Amino acid sequence: MLKQRTSCYCAFCKTPRKVYKHKNLSYIEVLSLIFLGVLFTFVIYKSLDPRGLLIVGGLLIVGEIFTQVKWRSAMVCQNCGFDPILYLRDHELAGLKIKAFLEKRADSPAHLLRPPVILPKVKADTSLKPRATSQNLSLKV
């Protein structure tokens, strides 16, 4: 129930990795932030005060932004730099980011002990080639 991460594989390099399950705050996190806001209200104003709603709202906004930034940053693969969210929007830009990441990775000592990136093989498009007709040319002499 409290497990926040789930295991998956990178769609580009097929390395096992962990990503956050939820993009937004969970119910437990919302309740705990409300409780924290009420606690801050008691500490600051010595009783329940309507201004405490601003504290609770501020905590919820900061918590939601933090959760979304954390989820978004965890989506990028640390091994190859593949960003599935960016790939859904723009394939070419995602490819350029992977290329820049792999160039930076080759120079970085932090990636020396990581598994090598196995790049996917691009299959040749055979639909554009002219198709040979099935004629036996040896019989046309």
| Positions in the binding site for Zn ion (CB under 5 A) | 10, 12-13, 77, 79-80, 82
Question: What's the min distance (Å) between Cβ of 123 and Zn ion?
Answer: 20
Separation CA 28–CA 22 (nearest Å): 12
Separation CA 119–CA 100 (nearest Å): 14
Nearest by Cα to 5 from 65, 74, 57? 74
Question: What's the min distance (Å) between Cβ of 72 and Zn ion?
Answer: 16
**Of 13 and 33, CB closest to Zn ion:** 13
Question: What's the min distance (Å) between Cβ of 9 and Zn ion?
Answer: 8
Long-range contacts of 96-100, Cβ-Cβ distance < 8 Å, separation of 24 or more: 98/12
**Of 11 and 53, CB closest to Zn ion:** 11
Instruction: Answer left, alpha or beta for residue 46, where phi above 0 means left and psi between -120 and 50 means alpha.
Output: left
Question: What's the min distance (Å) between Cβ of 8 and Zn ion?
Answer: 11
**Of 59 and 101, CB closest to Zn ion:** 101
**Of 37 and 82, CB closest to Zn ion:** 82
